[in-house]
Amino acid sequence: MPKSVFAIGAHPDDIEFVMAGTLLHLQAVGFEIHYMNVANGCCGSTVTDATETASIRLEESRQAARLIGAIHHPSIANDLEIMYDLQLLRKLAAVIREVKPSVILTHSPQDYMEDHVNTCRLVVTAAFARGMPNFQVTPNSPITDTRVTLYHAQPHGNCDALGQPVVPSLFVDVTDVMDTKAEMLACHASQKRWLDESQGMDSYIDSMRQMSQAVGALSRNFAYAEGWRRHSHLGFCGEADDPLTESLPPSIIHRVLANEVD
């Protein structure tokens, strides 16, 4: 069975902003790559209704996944309806059992909006329950004993919801794949319009580049980077397991101690 990595974001375009570069690097070293947005993006428009918006954003996310050869998994919730509840947990756990990832990339436990935070919580519990035969999933799926290492991406603006800095412990250089990240993000054309209208983001792709550049500056090593914090190994993998460090070329990895970043 090939090694696989599962990127799980809250909304269409979240993966492109904070995870896609690392996903591409793992693909380059032989990982099968999987792509999922928990929410369908239905609230991301001031022009089309929820049903049409969700349909548009589904095709945009499929296009982004196709661009890099990722296996696309459908959404399971509406925007602003990602709750830490049993129904969604059962659905997400079934997908994780199906994929059997050895690496999961997902949101930070601290972020500026609850859809991101609740996606993180659902992912952690769903992965924890992957090998529990007495936990019912929807649809029913066989358990897996695959060891999985979870990594949390940087929150928007590198701060938690109270504006306190969130410092990564691991940086991945994404300078060489920034053009592909931008091409993936450009697939989400409807979201560019929505953010321009709702949040005043003048340039969607420039905003992604600026975010990646800010993480690169934190690393003090790379022009553009994605930052990661590894989840506790307990219930997931071996204590020393760190597949990002073990699998990716040392030249694109920078690990830091807490006191190394101001």
pLDDT at 192: 74
169 DSSP assignment: S
pLDDT at position 204: 80
Q: Round the CA-based radius of gyration of the chain to a whole number and report it.
A: 17
Q: Tell me if the pTM is above 0.85.
A: yes
Residue 124 corresponds to which amino acid? V
- Phi, psi at residue 41, to the nearest 5°? 80, 15
How far is it, in rounded angstroms, from Cα 190 to Cα 185? 11
Block means of pLDDT (10 residues each) for the chain, 262 residues, are: 92 97 98 98 92 97 98 98 98 98 98 97 98 98 97 96 96 98 93 69 80 97 98 98 97 80 47
| C-alpha to C-alpha distance for 66 and 25, rounded to whole angstroms | 16
Domain ranges of the chain: 4-260
> Given this model, what pLDDT does residue 18 score?
97
Q: What is the pLDDT of residue 2?
A: 75
Closest CA to 144 of 90, 99, 89: 99
Contact 212, 219 (CB under 8 A): no
Contact between residue 19 and residue 7 where contact means Cβ atoms under 8 Å apart: yes
- The pLDDT assigned to 46 comes to 83
What is the pLDDT, as a whole number, of residue 105? 99
In 3-state terms, what secondary structure has residue 262? coil
Q: Which fold has domain 4-260?
A: Rossmann fold (3.40.50)
